[in-house]
């Protein structure tokens, strides 16, 4: 059996919970909690787009050069080192766990994520995360493109203001002072780009459960997701 058919089998037989939605809706936290609850693997697909963007920025590659960025995506040398509750992301031997979260990387990731060649270069790498006993896949197109056969699909959303407020608190706790109005406008700009791109735009799969977390606590959202899985 060749590698491709093994991968197809793996992806089809493994239980996949796809959690999609815009930036700051709480997908990251919720995906970690759900993965921990079931003892499943976790795919943070946004980290892959961020890694490609960071790598391009570090190498001084023109972000408008789709072909060059797709080459970076194909050749990405990345390791996810999991120790207990923390995952360190290592790119070409360097720990970039914090670096990929910087605002300039967020904006660049959103830009290069619109390139079809980049998305297709990352497709199989994402599918390969589907390993027994199961996978929680966090992203924008998990339920529509990467794992259309996922058994559970959640589309987690919240108002742009609520998402900006959460981001503001996170940054404030880290001692980073930012302007709230700027955060809201950055989030809206990223939403526009993510929802309007031609390839795999951000949108709920037809069979997804749409959850609006604007006025829900993390525990309430977690309960709703676990109920859906059951
Ligand atoms: O989830 P995140 O903020 O870490 O994602 C970073 C960027 O990558 C975001 O602007 C959208 C893009 N992305 C995507 O296009 N498809 C995914 N499956 C995940 C992220």
Instruction: Give the pLDDT confidence of 25-50 residue by residue, as tens digits.
Output: 999 999 999 999 999 999 999 999 99
Give the DSSP H or E segment for 182: helix 180-196
Look over the chain and give the mean of its residue pLDDT values, rounded to a whole number.
91
Cβ–Cβ < 8 Å for 164, 183: yes
46 within ligand 1 shell (Cβ under 6 A)? yes
Which residue is closest in CA terms to ligand 1's atom 3?
23
Those residues with Cβ within 8 angstroms of residue 187's Cβ, 6 or more apart along the chain or in another chain: 22, 23, 24, 160, 163, 164, 167
With a 6 Å cutoff on the Cβ, whether 20 touches ligand 1 is: no
Residue closest via CA to ligand 1's atom 4 equals 46
Domain ranges for the chain:
19-229
Q: How far is the CA of 125 from the centre of ligand 1 (A)?
A: 15
SS3 159: coil
Return the ligand 1 atom nearest residue 113 CA: 15
Res 209 pLDDT > 90: yes
Best residue among 25, 32, 48, 49 to mutate for probing ligand 1's pocket (most ligand atoms within 8 Å of CB) is: 49
CB-CB neighbours of 52 under 10 Å: 30
Query: What's the topology of domain 19-229?
Result: Rossmann fold (3.40.50)
Average pLDDT over residues 67-80: 96
Tokens of 26: 């709480």
Query: Which pLDDT score, from 0 to 100, does residue 12 have?
Result: 57
pLDDT-wise least confident of 34-43, 87-96, 176-185: 176-185
Judged against a pLDDT cut of 70, whether residue 10 lies above it is answered with no
Contact criterion met (CB below 8 Å) for 190 and 106:
yes
Tell me the whole-structure pTM to 2 decimals: 0.89
How far is Cα 126 from Cα 122, in angstroms, rounded to an integer? Answer: 6
Torsion of CA 85, 91, 97, 102, to 10 degrees: -160
| pLDDT per residue as tens digits for the range 135-162 | 999 999 999 999 999 999 999 999 999 9
């Amino acid at each position: 059996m060749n590698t491709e058919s093994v991968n197809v089998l793996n992806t089809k037989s493994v239980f996949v919970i796809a959690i999609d939605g815009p930036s700051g809706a709480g997908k990251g936290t919720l995906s970690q909690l759900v993965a921990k609850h079931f003892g499943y693997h976790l795919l943070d697909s946004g980290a892959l787009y961020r890694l490609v963007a960071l790598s391009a920025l570090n190498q001084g590659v023109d972000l408008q050069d789709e072909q060059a960025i797709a080459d970076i995506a194909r050749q990405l040398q990345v390791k996810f080192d999991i120790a207990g509750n923390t995952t360190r992301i290592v790119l070409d031997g360097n720990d970039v766990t914090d670096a990929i979260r910087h605002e300039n990387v967020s904006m660049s990731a959103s830009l290069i994520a619109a390139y079809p060649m980049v998305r297709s270069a990352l497709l199989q790498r994402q599918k390969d995360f589907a390993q027994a006993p199961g996978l929680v896949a966090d992203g924008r197109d998990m339920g529509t493109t990467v794992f259309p056969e996922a058994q559970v699909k959640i589309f987690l959303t919240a108002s742009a203001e609520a998402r900006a407020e959460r981001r503001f608190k996170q940054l404030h706790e880290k001692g980073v002072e930012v302007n709230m109005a700027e955060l809201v406008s950055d989030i809206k700009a990223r939403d526009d780009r993510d929802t309007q791109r031609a390839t795999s735009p951000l949108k709920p799969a037809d069979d997804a459960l749409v959850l609006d977390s604007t006025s829900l606590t993390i525990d309430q959202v977690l309960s709703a997701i676990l109920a859906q899985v059951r």
